[in-house]
């Protein structure tokens, strides 16, 4: 069996890593294609090193550009690559431009698509990721959904239950496989200035490309009575610099800005934090996996299970609401205890194994084909 994987950004590398391990363990053929959307060493190559992954055979090298340029270049390059490689299935993960382009290109070439982390919906079409999810899911053949609730989103869109598999989320596999290594080997502890801190990540386009929202978030951060460690995404750094806000944060003694971290260092940082403050999808899931309460800087989430199980709250982007939500958790022992003991809804860490077995079963039964 020959499996093609298309990925382009940091979270896709992390969440596909357990699937890649499984493909290698079973001696199947892998064609790994990086779109090059993330290209800085600490946004891309470092994850291949940390997760001991083979380097991609292809790097399309799209770099930073408009979504239209990125997507159209990926699609036309994938036409050449996929025609040449004759893979049995293309796997994509999540909701980035690589996912939309990978799923669409494979579908047009009549190659079956397996969507890992399918079915998530924020029901907010202003988010570029929501459109990517909808397009990828309308092009897919096999849907690997993290929870039953996510599967229901697909059933509601008319997708057959026969192609939906509840497998948990591969982020749990990645987290569990690497946490001990991170605790043992990460050197980041020598760099962190504080004993108690909130781990902050921020990068969503709807927050960092919206001046008003970004200003509100920064006002809240600057006035928070807690220490913060902030590995900063390059997208966010650029937006903050444009508004002359980067220096303002840097000058705040309770905030430590650091470069984007590799996976092991980030796992160490978040696992030792009192709280995760984030607008990231993956960090919401990791916080719950590592028993760290999460406050999400958004008005909705395509990961509602993190809220219903009690491990995450939506604080929006208004300064007062952010401060109120954080204080309510950190100043209230029973709230803190209950949030940090929320049951992880994303499985036990065997998602990749399940995903590989399902693909293999379809392949062995000669049932890995696109139906139109
Ligand atoms: C992308 C995804 C988002 C995902 C995120 C993960 C889409 C539409 N967005 O957002 O869903 O949550 O990745 O981190 O696919 N940049 C660098 N170096 C890099 C990469 C980016 O400096 O290695 C800067 C560039 O200025 C670039 C900006 O960050 O213009 C935004 O990068 P882009 O890949 O467009 O979007 P992300 O915000 O990373
Ligand atoms: N992450 C990392 N280093 C960092 C920040 C995040 O390794 O400095 C990891 C984190 O462990 C998570 C993933 O990046 O698995 C989430 O990616 P991101 O927040 O960029 O995107 P999203 O999940 O929102 O699509």
Q: What is the pLDDT of residues 325-362, one digit of tens each?
A: 999 999 999 999 999 999 999 999 999 999 999 999 99
Kindly state whether residue 265 falls inside one of the protein's structural domains. yes
Domain count across the chain: 2
Same domain? For 119 and 183 the reply is no
Same domain? For 217 and 163 the reply is no
Same domain? For 153 and 179 the reply is no
Same domain? For 246 and 164 the reply is no
Kindly state whether residue 86 falls inside one of the protein's structural domains. yes
Same domain? For 204 and 310 the reply is yes
pLDDT of 371 over the 70 cut: no
Q: Which residue, by CA, sits nearest to atom 4 of ligand 1?
A: 96
Kindly state whether residue 371 falls inside one of the protein's structural domains. no
Distance (Å) of CA 36 to CA 103, 222, 285: 17, 34, 25
Kindly state whether residue 370 falls inside one of the protein's structural domains. no
Q: Residue range 126-152: average pLDDT?
A: 97
- Report the chain's mean pLDDT, rounded to a whole number: 97
CB atoms near residue 246 (< 10 Å) = 18
pLDDT digit string, tens, across residues 253-267 = 999 999 999 999 999
Contact 222, 319 (CB under 8 A): no
The pLDDT score that the predictor gives to residue 369 is 80
Same domain? For 249 and 323 the reply is yes
Same domain? For 212 and 315 the reply is yes
pLDDT digit string, tens, across residues 142-184 = 999 999 999 999 999 999 999 999 999 999 999 999 999 999 9
Kindly state whether residue 369 falls inside one of the protein's structural domains. no
Same domain? For 147 and 194 the reply is no
Same domain? For 24 and 58 the reply is yes
Helix (H) or strand (E) holding 93: strand 89-93
Kindly state whether residue 314 falls inside one of the protein's structural domains. yes
- The rounded Å distance from CA 101 to ligand 1 centre is 15
Terminus-to-terminus CA distance in the chain, angstroms?
A: 22
The pLDDT score that the predictor gives to residue 370 is 78
What is the best residue among 7, 8, 9, 11 to mutate for testing ligand 2's pocket, by most ligand atoms within 8 Å of CB?
Answer: 11
Helix (H) or strand (E) holding 14: helix 10-25
CATH of the domain at 188: 3.40.50.2000
Q: Residue range 217-229: average pLDDT?
A: 97
The three-class DSSP label of residue 232 is coil
Same domain? For 139 and 255 the reply is no
Kindly state whether residue 20 falls inside one of the protein's structural domains. yes
Kindly state whether residue 284 falls inside one of the protein's structural domains. yes
Domain that holds residue 157: 2-169+348-364
The three-class DSSP label of residue 262 is coil
234 lines ligand 1 (CB under 6 A): yes
Contact 320, 327 (CB under 8 A): no
- The rounded Å distance from CA 63 to ligand 1 centre is 9
The pLDDT score that the predictor gives to residue 372 is 54
The pLDDT score that the predictor gives to residue 366 is 86
Strands 312-314 and 294-296: parallel
Q: Residue range 47-64: average pLDDT?
A: 97
Same domain? For 286 and 357 the reply is no
Q: Which among 118, 277, 134 is positioned nearest to 207, based on CA atoms?
A: 277
Q: CB under 6 Å to ligand 2: residues?
A: 10-11, 14, 201, 203, 231, 260-261, 263, 266, 280-283, 286
pLDDT digit string, tens, across residues 267-290 = 999 999 999 999 999 999 999 999
Distance (Å) of CA 202 to CA 104, 222, 321: 29, 15, 17
User: Which residue is catalytic, options 38, 203, 233, 362?
Assistant: 203
What is the C-alpha to C-alpha distance for residues 152 and 123, in angstroms, rounded to an integer? Answer: 14
List, in order, residues 6 or more apart from 310 with CB less than 8 Å away.
Answer: 338, 339, 342
Is 233 in the active site? Answer: no
Same domain? For 228 and 244 the reply is yes
């Amino acid at each position: 069996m020959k499996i093609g994987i298309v990925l382009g950004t940091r979270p896709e590398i992390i969440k596909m890593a357990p699937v890649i391990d499984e493909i290698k363990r079973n001696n199947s053929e892998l064609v790994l294609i990086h779109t090059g959307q993330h290209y800085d060493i600490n946004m891309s190559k470092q994850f291949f090193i940390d997760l001991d992954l083979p380097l991609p055979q292809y790097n399309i090298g799209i770099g930073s550009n408009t979504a239209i340029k990125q997507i159209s270049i990926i699609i036309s390059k994938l036409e050449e690559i996929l025609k040449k490689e004759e893979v049995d299935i293309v796997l994509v993960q999540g909701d980035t431009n690589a996912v939309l382009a990978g799923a669409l290109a494979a579908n047009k070439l009549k190659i079956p698509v397996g969507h890992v982390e399918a079915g998530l919906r924020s029901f907010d079409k202003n988010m570029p990721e929501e459109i990517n999810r909808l397009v990828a899911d309308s092009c897919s053949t096999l849907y690997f959904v993290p929870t039953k609730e996510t599967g229901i989103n697909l059933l509601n869109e008319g997708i057959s239950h026969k192609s939906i598999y509840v497998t948990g989320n591969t982020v749990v596999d990645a987290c569990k496989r690497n946490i001990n290594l991170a605790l043992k080997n990460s050197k980041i502890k020598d760099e962190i200035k504080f004993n108690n801190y909130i781990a902050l990540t921020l990068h969503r386009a709807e927050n960092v490309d919206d001046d008003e929202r970004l200003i509100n978030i920064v006002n809240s951060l600057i006035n928070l009575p807690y220490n913060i460690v902030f590995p900063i995404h390059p997208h966010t750094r650029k937006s903050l610099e444009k508004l002359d806000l980067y220096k303002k944060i840097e000058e705040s003694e309770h905030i430590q800005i650091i470069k984007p971290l590799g996976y092991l260092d980030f796992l160490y940082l978040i696992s030792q934090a009192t709280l995760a403050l984030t607008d990231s999808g993956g960090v919401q899931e990791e916080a719950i996996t590592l028993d760290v309460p999460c406050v999400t800087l958004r008005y909705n989430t395509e990961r509602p299970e993190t809220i219903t199980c009690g491990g995450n709250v939506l604080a929006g982007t208004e300064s007062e609401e952010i401060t109120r939500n954080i204080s309510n958790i950190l100043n209230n022992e029973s709230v803190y205890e209950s949030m940090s003991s929320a049951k992880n809804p994303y499985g036990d860490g065997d998602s990749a194994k399940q995903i590989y077995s399902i693909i293999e079963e379809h392949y062995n039964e000669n049932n890995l084909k696109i139906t139109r």
